[in-house]
Amino acid sequence: MRSQYFQKLNHLIGKIEETQNDAMGQAAKVIADAMAAGKCVHLFDTGHMLDSELINRAGGLTAFRALRFQFDVNNEVREREEEKQKDRNMEGLINHVLRASRLLPGDVLIVGSVSGKTVFPVDIAIHAKQMGAYVIGITSVAYSSQLISDHSSGNKLFEVADLVIDNCAPPLDAMLEVPGLDVSICPASGIAAASIMWAIEAEVVELLMKRNIKPSILKSINFPGSAEYNEEAYKTYAETSC
């Protein structure tokens, strides 16, 4: 199975490079333009690697910053019949989240969701665009096209983002079928999205350097003097968004 996994993985990465090259190039240009203009780059992910892979990583841009929020209701009484009838659709909450965030017009918001059908990714794309941000969606178009949106608009992420990058994950996400199992294994979306974003980041750095703009890149904590270097990188980012 290991060799089959690498075959599937190599095919996935090759398909992304072949089919999403223009979209990734456009994303890199949009991000580089925003950074050069002093704007910010936000990342909202539904938990499939991006916000842990791209943020505060050695060799990565300081400019990629996570947009996260928490919402908890603590009410530990016994379950009652009326509880099952409640409408727990959280649509509209994102509008308040964005207004409490530091998102501003001209910023770039990257939204990652493999299915692209749930309320939060769709809602954040819609409201961020209304606030004047440029929204890049990373999703599986083939998978999402087979699903029904949970959002009242009936739209999915690939239908509302300004720019869509297809992570090329198969429907249901998992890549490997195992004889004797009725469920596939090894999801594609996380590693696909991470590969896409690192490729974009590489091009963003190239584009900025061509403009004589030196972006802030983090060093490994195991590199001598990295603590001071990274502190300066964060300071530079805070002052220039690069």
Do 130 and 156 contact (CB within 8 A), yes or no? Answer: no
Phi-psi region of 172 (alpha: psi -120 to 50; beta: other; left: phi over 0): left
- For residue 217, the 8-state DSSP code is B
Question: Other C-beta atoms within 10 Å of 218: how many?
Answer: 19
Q: Per the structure block, which two tokens stand in for 172?
A: 């249901």
Question: Other C-beta atoms within 10 Å of 37: how many?
Answer: 11
List phi, psi (to 5°) of 87: -90, 110
Going by C-alpha positions, the residue among 74, 60, 164, 54 that lies closest to residue 111 is 164
CA dihedral 63, 204, 47, 71 (to 10 degrees): 40
The CATH code of domain 2-69+88-240 reads 3.40.50.10490
Domain map (residue ranges) of the chain: 2-69+88-240
CA–CA dist 24, 3 (Å, integer): 28
Can you give the pLDDT at residue 85? 66
CA–CA dist 230, 155 (Å, integer): 41
CA–CA dist 220, 224 (Å, integer): 9
Would you give per-residue pLDDT tens digits along the chain (242 residues)? 889 999 999 999 999 999 999 999 999 999 999 999 999 999 999 877 777 888 889 999 999 999 998 888 888 888 877 776 677 778 889 999 999 999 999 999 999 999 999 999 999 999 999 999 999 999 999 999 999 999 999 999 999 999 999 999 999 999 999 999 999 999 999 999 999 999 999 999 999 999 999 999 999 989 888 999 999 888 888 887 67
Q: Per the structure block, which two tokens stand in for 185?
A: 């294994």
Q: Per the structure block, which two tokens stand in for 115?
A: 């299915």
Question: Other C-beta atoms within 10 Å of 43: how many?
Answer: 22
pTM above 0.95, yes or no: no
CA–CA dist 124, 130 (Å, integer): 10
